[in-house]
Structure 1
């Protein structure tokens, strides 16, 4: 922060055991043209051997606030670290950045500031887009976040700079959700929501996105790409997405959808959670069927059927029932 008593944005970057990647993330924040910011680095209990390299990287940002958490074998988790940074932040708005990703647009914060200031109502959340890349440098072809809304947003109403005022229903029409790298949240709202759910270690950002849509009123969406996201390699164990198994991920997803379906006041969110739950149960049923766990596969197929009574899944459930009933492997006596 450039000698300001109070920043407009607080940028929170949690990091653990990845100083080289963190250097890219930090540099992308330092290169932002907008200067009314503070940078909060949350060191999530990194192993001591990384300290010298982190020290070199942090020397590039002598005014950054560095908060060190005690060492733990698996860290404290993204949610805990994000909350730590947000609670000590001083800015009006909180922006987040994962340490293995980086912002690609030096005007990202300037653009957000222009839109927020131009809005006639207090903005609760500002969202933009990012691109996702595999380890070999190739970009994924599927919709990951909310980029599928870009072609429709011009029909949504008044524009503020490069951003548009949008409704929760419009944001929920996306196949994805807003990643934290591209989310800027009014800090008071973040605190009112008690921040991220620290019990969730996978898709905690989806949970926060849903809770924000339910609690807030005024949203801006900028359809420009502002961030580069690196898709974690499955064989590595240094990322939240790779520290848990596929079944554990499904359990977290179920918890996110069940929680928000039960607690949300907006019908559109409850419906989105119902649809999301049906997809999770279908995927579980298919995976269990491939593993020949036919009892469990049928049980999850029936859970999905209760949420999605369409003829395609009815037919698939009937096939699973027949497989379970007539071709179930016999156990030797």
Structure 2
């Protein structure tokens, strides 16, 4: 049984998949298996993967989205921990070695969250250095609620049994499915947050702004609904911590939507979040957002932007 199962979901990214796999096979840590889940690709992904022979376990499914693809990988994983990598991102040679060091320092750790470096050209990652290890440890993920440092949920190593216990990722095609997973892992014992060194290069794409906006809206709406239905762990005793995280994210998303002229989506999330903001409470946001939204809308119309 390997220590790590590296799960890479992919869809029509043969051009980038080679680089992602090269970064995995360049790891200092060697106790891992690699599972690539082809989510119904129509390009030459399978031909690309065939070149790796038995170094890669290839799983296939009809196109169902990244959540479903990761779940198939979780189902087939043999490792004690699952480490996720998207097929357009890159690891540094020390990534898995860093995870191992963190896990061995405290045996009961269920979840490790790393730090990412944004890039658009792979050459820019050459300047990233291996900084001394800096780790914050918490009893569980919910215990980190008051830390406002931006989280990079694309960088996860999770105990395989914990992933299976909470049911893996949602299969819905929404943004924030990784944060939803983190909330559902919220009371699993032992959370380690690696602040340094950076462990992944997160590729930035141009993409469709309208698609990203809709997906971000749907993801936040889904998380609010999950909380309303009581589907996140911790019960009433841990509700304050869940709300700290959920509402911080909601405020960020509503401001982003507003800046992109999607007042309709921003106000809908504001309305849906009001009961939770009242429970928190967050009066400054509740009273200040509507007039700020109105002023921003008028300013955008006047400036034509």
TM-score, L = length of structure 1: 0.71
Name the residue aligned to 1:36. Answer: 31
**1:258-305 deviations in Å (ceiling 9; x for gaps):** 313643322211232133334444555665676xx7xx8766666666
RMSD (Å), alpha carbons: 3.4
Match of residue 123, structure 1, among 109, 128, 149:
109
Separation in 2 of the partners of 1:179 and 1:323? 30
| 1:7–1:90 Cα contact (<8 Å) kept | yes
Query: Using a 3 Å threshold, how does the CA distance of structure 1 residues 172 and 197 change in structure 2: closer, same or farther?
Result: farther
Mapped pair 1:89 → 2:65: no
Name the residue aligned to 2:19. Answer: 24
Query: How many equivalent residue pairs?
Result: 279
Mapped pair 1:218 → 2:185: no
Instruction: Select the structure of larger CA radius of gyration.
Output: 1
Query: Using a 3 Å threshold, how does the CA distance of structure 1 residues 221 and 283 change in structure 2: closer, same or farther?
Result: closer
**1:70-91 deviations in Å (ceiling 9; x for gaps):** 3xxxx31110000100110100
Mapped pair 1:250 → 2:217: yes
Structure 1 residue 209: Cα displacement: 1.7
Query: Using a 3 Å threshold, how does the CA distance of structure 1 residues 127 and 58 change in structure 2: closer, same or farther?
Result: farther
Unaligned runs of 5+ in 1: 1-5, 140-153, 155-160, 236-241, 325-333
Aligned pairs for 1:1-333 within 5 A: 6-47=1-42, 49-51=43-45, 54-60=46-52, 62-70=54-62, 75-104=63-92, 106-119=93-106, 121-134=107-120, 163-167=135-139, 168=141, 169-170=143-144, 173-180=147-154, 182-212=155-185, 214-223=186-195, 224-235=197-208, 244-260=211-227, 262-264=230-232, 265=234, 266=238, 267-284=240-257, 307=277, 308-310=282-284, 314=287, 317-318=290-291
Instruction: Report the more deviating stretch, 254-263 or 14-23.
Output: 254-263
Larger helix proportion of the pair: 2
Structure 1 residue 186: Cα displacement: 0.2
